[in-house]
Amino acid sequence: MSALLLSGKSVLVTGSTSGIGLGIATQFAKAGATLMVHGLEGEDQVAPLLAKLRSFSSPKVSYTQADISSEAGCSKLVSETVSKLGNKLDILVNNAGIQYTARTEDYPSERWDAVMRINLTAPFLLSKAVLPGMYDRGWGRLVHIGSAHSMRGSVNKSAYCASKHGVLGMSRAIALECAGTGVTSNTICPGFAETPLVLKQVDKLAEERGISKEAAKNLFLLDKHPTAEFVKPENLGAFAVFLSSEAGGQVNGAALSMDVGWTTR
């Protein structure tokens, strides 16, 4: 892939201080895009991470702290991004997300609300805010990070599955609305990646079964993946860069799996 594939394009990657989002932000910086990194941390906490991203090919890397569980947080994120990145946003990657696991009958309602607000309502509000500018300029990319759980269920994950199925449905509807405008909307559906979101679940499994973390990791992966192999955040990032490039312009409304074969089962 060309080092400056996205030269002249600006991108916001939500939840890019950690895990998959950081892998995606890294690939956008390497592709030469102007980049907005986003998370919950204060800017001083993420200074080393920003310095690393600035060492790649991006002409500018900025940071916004915003809690996107509220509409005000989403508005703040969009307005700061647009003003810091030169009054336009070409690419939105809806990545930030949370997990909470419990059986449905035990699932706390406030946890359900938080999962839905961050995983589903925020991608809607952010897409809604950036689409008019994309339509005006006749070019734009929405890349949503769904999950294999956009297509499959799992025990203890009713809220997460509902939110990720919702993101895919939203993306497909937007894709039809934006057909022929130069804007596309697609959903990448990862299998398990080795991030804090998943490692918390592995730790819980190790504790419940009284086994080592390594054994729990293998058990966790082999329950879904045909091989005990994690999806790499940098590969998900390269996928998002491709969708955001000119070559990706005819992919619209797709659910794109990168899940080591999970959903072929």
Interaction site with ligand NAD (CB under 6 A): 15, 17-21, 39-40, 67-69, 95-98, 118, 145, 147, 190, 192-193, 195-198
Cβ proximity to ligand NAD: between 9 and 224 the closer is: 224
Residues 22-25: contacts with CB within 8 Å, 24+ apart?
22/49, 22/233, 23/193, 23/232, 23/233, 23/234, 23/235, 23/236, 23/237, 24/93, 24/95, 24/145, 24/233, 24/236, 24/237, 24/240, 25/53, 25/237
Distance (Å, whole) CA 26 – CA 33: 10
Residues listed for the chain: 265
Cβ at position 254, least distance to ligand NAD in Å: 16
Distance (Å, whole) CA 82 – CA 99: 29
Cβ proximity to ligand NAD: between 30 and 224 the closer is: 224
Cβ proximity to ligand NAD: between 17 and 171 the closer is: 17
Cβ at position 240, least distance to ligand NAD in Å: 11
Cβ proximity to ligand NAD: between 65 and 252 the closer is: 65
Cβ at position 8, least distance to ligand NAD in Å: 26
Distance (Å, whole) CA 82 – CA 94: 16
Query: Which pair of structure tokens corresponds to residue 134?
Result: 């994309």
Say whether 160 is catalytic. yes
Look at phi and psi of residue 90 and say left if phi exceeds 0, alpha if psi is from -120 to 50, else beta: alpha
Cβ at position 84, least distance to ligand NAD in Å: 17
Cβ at position 105, least distance to ligand NAD in Å: 23
Distance (Å, whole) CA 114 – CA 79: 23
100, 107, 135, 160: the catalytic one is 160
Among 84, 163, 86, which residue's Cα sits nearest to residue 123?
163
10 residue type, one letter? S
Cβ at position 135, least distance to ligand NAD in Å: 25
Distance (Å, whole) CA 71 – CA 245: 30
Q: Which residues are catalytic?
A: 160
